A and B are shown apart, each in its own frame.
Chain A
């Protein structure tokens, strides 16, 4: 099956700085790559996704880039705010396999 690696496991940034989380996947047939945000004690919520026919997608302060050749994709958060603090999960599909998550902490 698919193997999704996510780095870093923890990330601390100052408010206003950018945060980047990277994921690699193993199955070249994977064609859908979502990112989920999970606040403490809550369910994971989809924040952005990208399909394999697109290299980059942006939604306000959040962007995702995909490199199919290298089989990696990244989440970029600009102008981080304390409310961005959460655990972020990447995933790759067919069947969704998740990375282990990144605990992002944004210090005011």
Chain B
């Protein structure tokens, strides 16, 4: 079946612009995660959605970052006033609890 789909696959934006990254999880998966992976680095947790519960936003690095998940399915990660240090691959993953995670291919964000 279809896996986790992320769009766009690549995004180049100018410093100071806002960007939106989209994640379509596997149908029926109740849990959705966003991670950030900087070049040569590990997977940094950003935010976690589980069903109708309040999301765990403890990993968001600043108030420029926000995410929402509409209807318990599609999620959008928004970065406002992008900075060069925001350049990274943003990975979305979903799961039908208890686990494991299924990752999307990621969105490579480059802030110039």
Contacts and interface: CB of A to CB of B under 8 A. Distances in A.
A44 B100 contact: no
Contacts of B56: 95
Contacts, number: 45
A34 B35 contact: no
Interface of B: prevailing SS:
loop
A26 interface: no
A36 B42 CA distance: 11
Interface residues of A, number: 20
Interface stretch (B18-26, B68-76, B102-110): B102-110
B48 A49 contact: no
B99 A100 contact: no
Contact of A46 (B33, B101, B106): B101
